[in-house]
Amino acid sequence: MEHFTRPLQRENTKNIKISYLLLGPTRTAFFKKANMPTKNIEKIMLYPEKVAKNTVEKLLRGKKRIVLRFLYKLYCFLR
Whole-prediction pTM: 0.69
CA distances to 13, 67, 72, 73 from 77, in Å? 27, 11, 8, 6
- pLDDT for the residue 69: 73
Query: Cβ(46)–Cβ(25) under 8 Å?
Result: yes
Number of residues that this document lists for the chain: 79
Tell me the C-alpha distance between 62 and 76, whole Å: 18
Q: What is the pLDDT of residues 43-60, one digit of tens each?
A: 888 899 999 999 999 999
Neighbours of 34 (CB within 10 A): 7
Quick one: pLDDT band at residue 10, thresholds 50, 70, 90? confident
- Does the pLDDT of residue 23 top 90, yes or no? no
- pLDDT for the residue 4: 87
For residues 74, 44, 1, 62, the Cα torsion angle rounded to the nearest 10 degrees is: -70
